[in-house]
Amino acid sequence: TVRNWISDSYVIGEPADKGTAVSDAMTVQQARDSQGSKDRWVCGYIVGGDLTSSSASFYGPFDSRSNLLLGPKSSTSDKDACLSMQLPAGDLRERLNLVDNPDMLGRKIYVRGDIVEAYYGIPGIKNVSDFQLP
């Protein structure tokens, strides 16, 4: 028996449009590797806050309402494995900051924004425009 293949289709690596929908959200690691991507969905766990260029807090109480740390797992406690996240002023900041919402620590979340090379010394997500809690 002989078979002749007329065409094949291969995908090597991640699709270029990864993260364009919640159902195809990037992982924290994929986002860390996709710096410069705009308007992408990322899925991670809120693992900390109170970011500075050299440290982050993984345990409350928290002092900063303007940033969060997203980790690949809810138990992550290594800043270098995480994605920093800017919380813009308004409803999103009010609903997600760990000062006013300490119960958000450890929660899985989908966020939509621009992936930047560095925010507080590590890859981050800024211009967050939307989020969803599963």
User: What's the pTM?
Assistant: 0.86
Contact 34, 61 (CB under 8 A): no
**What burial class does residue 81 get, using C-beta atoms within 10 Å of its C-beta: 0-12 exposed, 13-18 middle, 19+ buried?**
middle
Contact 48, 56 (CB under 8 A): yes
pLDDT attached to residue 63: 95
The predicted-structure confidence for 27-59, as pLDDT tens digits, reads as follows 999 999 999 999 999 999 999 999 998 999 999
Share of the chain above pLDDT 90, in %: 83
Residue 23 falls in which region: left (phi positive, over 0), alpha (psi -120 to 50) or beta: alpha
